[in-house]
Amino acid sequence: MKNFKKAALVGSAIATLGFMGAISAPANAGQLHNGWNYGIDALNDGSGGENYNIRGLAIKETDDQIFVGFTGGTKWDGHNDSLAGGGKIGWGDLFFNFSPEANFTDLVADYGSYTDSQKVYDVKDEYKGSLLAVKFAPNDQGGEFGLYSVDSLKGITRDNSGYKHINHYDNSGFLQDENAMGTDLSSKASVKDYFGTNQRILNVVEEGTKLAGITQLDEAALTAKGLNFDNFLGGVNTEGYKSTFGFSLNKSALEGVLPGGISDFMAHVFLECANDGVALAGNFALPEEDATVPEPSTLLGLSAIGLAFLRKRRQPSVS
């Protein structure tokens, strides 16, 4: 049963279209262009044709905002399918693993091979708080759009004429060995290491606490922020390549949830049917909770070595 819990103080309503952002901050991993961090997916791995083919995922960080963009053949609200839950096949939720030294399979309790009976899996206690997700598009699971901490996950691929697990997808001939799920899970082996082989594909939040709302962004708003997938996809046959959209999120929603400093992540999303998926590694810079304002006499020294804040790398949370 769904149980999306709202945080009392930091939840916010969804806004629509357009945001004037702040100064860009650098990202890491993926492929970088114009302040954006890109994961470009294999171009011919969308089972079911271009309607279910993800071309790419991109993330940009500014001083106070996080921007996310998607592009491919799957529209924001999915495609009609009479055999699918709710009559449509669309996007699952976007997951951020802030313990990226751990594979996704490591985060989930009792995560064995695929079974028809078990659809819901709990996040291990030691990883609760470091696995976050964004509900950004309508899907079978419902719930308000926004950022969530994740207590449990659910697989809805079977209800959407989709794939049981990664081996099922691979054995059907769609898992490529170049940019398999983008730049950072680029080979079959890396995808299987991260998601397992016969474990159920978990693509939506079942239970979690809402931390903040999001602002939906259309292609024009994202382009105004510098998003340019064509820098990597220029010259590609884009028949059916019809949808670019995304959202923004206030970075303050992560303060008090994640430790200050540089927080590395692995992000990924699957379609409801798991006909395609894409992943991207990166990091966000968050203020240190105990950071103090330097005395005036020390400001010159700090700027000389390029430090605005004292940062420490987040330590792994593996027990």
Instruction: Dump pLDDT digits (tens) for 92-146.
Output: 999 999 999 999 999 999 999 999 999 999 999 999 999 999 999 999 999 999 9
- The residue extents of the domains of the chain are 3-304
Partners of 94 in the beta sheet?
134
DSSP, res 187? S
Query: Taking a C-beta distance cutoff of 8 angstroms, is the pair 60, 37 a contact?
Result: yes
Give the side-chain half-sphere CA count within 13 A for 173. Answer: 3
Kind of pairing, strands 65-72 and 79-80? unpaired
Beta strands in 258-305 (DSSP E): 261-270, 277-286
Whole-model pTM? 0.83
Give dist(CA 131, CA 15) in Å, integer. 24
Residues of the chain with pLDDT below 70 are 1-30, 235, 237-241, 289-319
User: For residue 3, what pLDDT is reported?
Assistant: 53
The token pair that represents 302 in the structure block: 């700090």
User: For residue 253, what pLDDT is reported?
Assistant: 96
Name the residue type at position 39: G
The token pair that represents 17 in the structure block: 């279209």
User: For residue 50, what pLDDT is reported?
Assistant: 86
Query: Taking a C-beta distance cutoff of 8 angstroms, is the pair 309, 291 a contact?
Result: yes
Query: Taking a C-beta distance cutoff of 8 angstroms, is the pair 138, 77 a contact?
Result: yes
